[in-house]
Amino acid sequence: MTRSRGRSRGVTIIDVAKHAGVSPMTVSRVINGDPGVRDEVRARVGEIISALNYTPNLTARSLVTSREIRIGVIYSNPSAAFMSDLLAGVFEEASARAAQLILLKGENGKPPSREAIQGLIDSRVAGMILAPPLGESEVVGQILRAAKLPVAVVGGAARGAICVGIDNRRAAYDMTRHLIALGHRRLGFILGNPDQSASAERLAGFRAAVDEEGDLDVQIVQGDYSYASGLVAGEALLAGAHPPTAIFASNDDMAAAVVSVAHRRHLDVPADLTVTGFDDSTAATTLWPPLTTIRQPVRALAAAALQLLIQDIRAGPVADDDARATVLDHQLIERESTATPRSNPLPHPVRTMP
- pLDDT value at 260 more than 80: yes
Residue 1's pLDDT band, with cuts at 50, 70 and 90, is very low
CA angle 185/191/196 to nearest 5° reads 145
CB 116 within 8 A of CB 109: no
Per residue in 148-158, pLDDT tens? 999 999 998 88
Q: How far is CA 233 from CA 239, 255, 271, in A?
A: 10, 10, 20
Per residue in 159-189, pLDDT tens? 889 999 999 999 999 999 999 999 999 999 9
As a whole number of angstroms, the distance between CA 55 and CA 6 comes to 11
- Give the pLDDT score at 122: 92
Beta strands 292-295 and 331-333, pairing class = antiparallel
Per residue in 14-66, pLDDT tens? 778 788 888 766 776 677 666 667 878 888 888 888 788 776 654 444 433 44
Residues 90, 162, 44, 8: what is their CA dihedral angle, to the nearest 10 degrees?
-20
CB atoms within 10 A of CB 146: 10
Better-scored residue on pLDDT, 60 or 245: 245
Helix axis angle for 298-315 and 80-96, nearest 10°, is: 40
- Give the pLDDT score at 323: 57
As a whole number of angstroms, the distance between CA 144 and CA 141 comes to 5
As a whole number of angstroms, the distance between CA 321 and CA 25 comes to 33
Q: Mean pLDDT for the chain?
A: 85
- pLDDT value at 350 more than 70: no
CB 303 within 8 A of CB 92: yes
As a whole number of angstroms, the distance between CA 251 and CA 189 comes to 11
Greatest mean pLDDT among 34-43, 331-340, 345-354 lies in 331-340
Global confidence as pTM? 0.75
As a whole number of angstroms, the distance between CA 227 and CA 209 comes to 26
CB 135 within 8 A of CB 198: no
Mean of pLDDT values over 326-336: 95
As a whole number of angstroms, the distance between CA 128 and CA 72 comes to 5
Percent of the chain, pLDDT > 90? 53
CB 143 within 8 A of CB 114: yes
Q: Rounded to an integer, what is the distance from CA 129 to the centroid of its chain?
A: 13
As a whole number of angstroms, the distance between CA 16 and CA 348 comes to 65
- Give the pLDDT score at 5: 33
- Give the pLDDT score at 354: 42
Q: Name the strands in the sheet holding 69-75, side by side, starting at the edge strand that comes first in the sequence.
A: 99-105, 69-75, 127-130, 151-154, 162-165, 324-327
Q: How far is CA 285 from CA 187, 234, 250, 252, in A?
A: 23, 19, 16, 10
Three-state DSSP at 95 gives helix
- pLDDT value at 295 more than 90: yes
Per residue in 102-112, pLDDT tens? 999 888 778 89
Percent of the chain, pLDDT > 70? 84
Better-scored residue on pLDDT, 26 or 90: 90
Residue 120's pLDDT band, with cuts at 50, 70 and 90, is very high
Mean of pLDDT values over 91-96: 86
As a whole number of angstroms, the distance between CA 79 and CA 253 comes to 7
DSSP 143: H
- pLDDT value at 247 more than 50: yes
Nearest to 275 by CA among 245, 320, 315: 245
CB 154 within 8 A of CB 136: no
As a whole number of angstroms, the distance between CA 347 and CA 218 comes to 10
- Give the pLDDT score at 56: 61
Residue 8's pLDDT band, with cuts at 50, 70 and 90, is very low
